[in-house]
Structure 1
């Protein structure tokens, strides 16, 4: 399965000059954990997360301000550019979600912006990944069958069954090109792990 199959869009973004409070309100109101930061050319320049926004907002020692010197600033950040993460993990639309999942776990990130020619076109989160793998075989079989029936020139030309996320398609095809089309149609269903087309050429 590819990133484009499960990514979320449209994407809620912020600017580097936006107030920290505004970014925090966006995350809270939209129920998201992070937002891409884009510049005036709509290019990705960073990510701002709940952790970024909380940092320097919750002091570890309530009396720290009493010992602060003029050189040691206790000033809170005011704009997104002061708190955002600049080293951003990204993905692209055709990337395999298994690769994205491994990267997210190894880099300990919860959301990854999806880029196309440097522009943010979507975002993929751990929640999106979980939804894609928690779909039952019955749901997958139903969705695959719907797509096959919509493409077929007659009902029941192909029958789809699913076991542990693996789709098995039985029926007949006109040629190898149509066999590839049938396989691609099944693979576009989110949650499908693999596809086997057991068909004869008529």
Structure 2
């Protein structure tokens, strides 16, 4: 699994010259703990977090009139969309990063939090079901041809298959989803040339 598979998009950014109050409003409005800071070219130059804001308030003792660039953390750990999630998790632990912007040519295209990574490493049935359905819908060019459910790590696939090769591909996509232990096909599902069990 790659960063692009788990990142949140869009990544809400704040300009380095924005007032700290604007950063606070963004964090509150979007219910996020940190936001990438960008310059006039929309290139990521830092990260501003709740901790940065609290630290600034503790020093100032009153609402700050300073700019985001004055309180932001330096250039954050970044990842590219194809970064392996396991590698990304290791970097986050080693660098103490809670939030990692995903960038393409220095421009932010998404953001990965520790919670996003944890969901892939310790997936719940709901997370596994969402990921399995996302994979199947992508394989079906955006259509939901095969509804999937996951309970106690056991996935069940419904829908019809054009042939045995398609059935095998769908089962493989679900079987390799983190959090899925076993895969079954709903009785009655099948289709032309595809057995139902």
Give the whole-Å Cα distance in 2 for the aligned partners of 1:134 and 1:173: 28
Alignment of 1:94-173 (within 5 A): 94-132=82-120, 133-136=122-125, 139-140=128-129, 143=132, 147=136, 173=165
Greater Rg, structure 1 or structure 2? 1
Give the whole-Å Cα distance in 1 for the aligned partners of 2:134 and 2:115: 26
What residue number does 1:90 align with? 78
Unaligned runs of 5+ in 1: 63-73, 166-170, 195-202
What residue number does 1:50 align with? 50
Give the whole-Å Cα distance in 2 for the aligned partners of 1:188 and 1:41: 40
What residue number does 1:200 align with? none
Q: CA deviation at 1:130?
A: 2.4
Q: What RMSD over aligned residues (CA atoms) do the two structures have, in Å?
A: 4.2
Give the whole-Å Cα distance in 1 for the aligned partners of 2:134 and 2:111: 28
Give the TM-score, by structure 1 length: 0.64
Unaligned runs of 5+ in 2: 155-162, 182-197
Query: SS state of the match for residue 56, structure 1?
Result: helix
What residue number does 1:70 align with? none
Structure 1 101/85 Cα, relative in aligned 2: closer, same or farther at 3 Å?
A: same
Give the TM-score, by structure 2 length: 0.66
Aligned residues: 167
